[in-house]
């Protein structure tokens, strides 16, 4: 097995921390800490929103490229392994989350009798995992037929992926159901592919000109994000949607962080539990925020700090417990 890079593990810890921060704050005034659009917390969310999932997916692509599908492998065995690792834990944890929501009011229409939707449609934060599963399968198929052996091939698929996502609304009507979160896979594919490229074609993509250009693009994108937020340019939120050119370029250029070569032990440690944190952080932070609210705690900084701590440490504690038994490792963590 390939040696883990402390720099990438630091980045993984940073990425999952951004995910937890974003979900604690909430994507609207009705979620998370329930902050208004004119709050400093909304400004923080606005800055990390187009970084968290792209960066997390860039790392997933990089990790896949270390242990890709090999032509000598059995593709169905490869698919089974990814299903076990990604989809089974998703269904197990999403079921718990869904039932908790249903039993506490079902703010998104959760009802025990409709739990079957988890098998077909993306649900809450768990939309990411079926999308990620598709990325592994698509990448595996491309590797099976040796269509990603050259950097030119990867560049062609990357460009096609960017254009497909940018013009997805034209090509795929909104009325088409998002079955098995395939639309999420379209969104994430360019980031996954770029992460693969950084690992697979490291000699080329580590050249000073490429890295300098990537950093310049990243800094320029983040500067433009500030101009959008303060309404100096664009139309606010609509100018910085996921499929806006600024949103796409911000996500892709965050790959510059791969070349920062920063090692932070705390983030390396968090990165080691990133998958479990993703699975359980929404349950943990939700319980924490609800408990604090019922206790009358309204100070947002306390809600934020406690929500983030709960979203990180409770999943780590759960991981330690689940690791003890084979059945819980398999069902909730996707491990043998």
Mean residue pLDDT across the chain:
94
Say which residues have a Cβ less than 8 Å from residue 236's Cβ, sequence separation at least 6.
Answer: 228, 229
329 burial type by CB count under 10 A (0-12 exposed, 13-18 middle, 19+ buried): middle
The region of weakest confidence among 53-62, 114-123, 178-187, 269-278 is 114-123
The per-residue pLDDT for range 149-159, each reduced to its tens digit, is 999 999 999 99
d(CA 123, CA 117): 8
Say which residues have a Cβ less than 8 Å from residue 228's Cβ, sequence separation at least 6.
Answer: 234, 236, 239, 240, 246
Largest CA distance in the chain: 60
Residue (of 56, 212, 37) closest to 131 by Cα position? 56
pTM of the model: 0.95
Q: Distance from CA of residue 209 to its chain's centroid?
A: 28
The per-residue pLDDT for range 90-126, each reduced to its tens digit, is 999 999 999 998 887 766 667 777 888 899 999 999 9
Mean per-residue pLDDT for 26-53? 92
The per-residue pLDDT for range 209-260, each reduced to its tens digit, is 999 999 999 999 999 999 999 989 887 666 788 899 999 999 999 999 999 9
Give me the pLDDT at residue 1, please.
44
252 burial type by CB count under 10 A (0-12 exposed, 13-18 middle, 19+ buried): buried
d(CA 310, CA 270): 13
Residue (of 273, 274, 279, 277) closest to 97 by Cα position? 279
């Amino acid at each position: 097995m390939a040696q883990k890079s402390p720099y990438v593990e630091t980045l993984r810890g940073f990425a999952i921390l951004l995910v937890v921060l974003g979900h604690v704050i909430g994507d609207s005034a009705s979620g998370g800490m329930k902050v208004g659009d004119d709050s400093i917390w909304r400004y923080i969310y606005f800055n990390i929103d187009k970084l968290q999932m792209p960066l997390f997916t860039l790392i997933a692509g990089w990790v896949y490229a270390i242990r890709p599908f090999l032509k000598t492998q059995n593709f169905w065995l490869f698919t089974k392994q990814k299903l076990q690792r990604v989809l089974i834990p998703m269904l197990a944890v999403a079921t718990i989350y869904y039932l908790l929501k249903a039993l506490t009011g079902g703010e998104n229409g959760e009802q025990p009798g409709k739990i079957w939707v988890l098998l077909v449609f993306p649900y809450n934060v768990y939309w990411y995992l079926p999308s990620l599963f598709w990325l592994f399968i698509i990448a595996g198929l491309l590797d099976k037929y040796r269509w990603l052996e050259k950097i030119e091939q990867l560049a062609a698929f990357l460009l096609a992926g960017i254009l497909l996502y940018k013009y997805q609304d034209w090509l795929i009507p909104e009325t088409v159901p998002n079955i098995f979160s395939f639309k999420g896979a379209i969104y994430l594919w360019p980031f996954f592919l770029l992460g693969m490229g950084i690992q697979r074609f490291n000699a080329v993509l580590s050249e000073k000109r490429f890295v300098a250009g990537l950093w310049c693009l990243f800094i320029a994108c983040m500067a433009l994000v500030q101009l959008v937020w303060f309404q100096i340019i664009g139309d606010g939120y609509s100018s910085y949607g996921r499929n806006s050119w600024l949103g796409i370029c911000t996500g892709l250029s965050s790959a510059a962080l791969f070349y920062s070569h920063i090692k932070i032990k705390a983030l390396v440690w968090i990165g080691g539990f990133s998958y479990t944190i993703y699975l359980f952080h929404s349950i943990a932070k939700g319980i924490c925020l609800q408990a604090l609210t019922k206790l009358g705690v309204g100070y947002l900084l306390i809600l934020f700090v406690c929500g983030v701590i709960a979203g990180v440490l409770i999943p780590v504690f759960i991981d330690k417990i689940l690791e003890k038994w084979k059945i819980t490792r398999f069902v909730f963590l996707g491990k043998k």
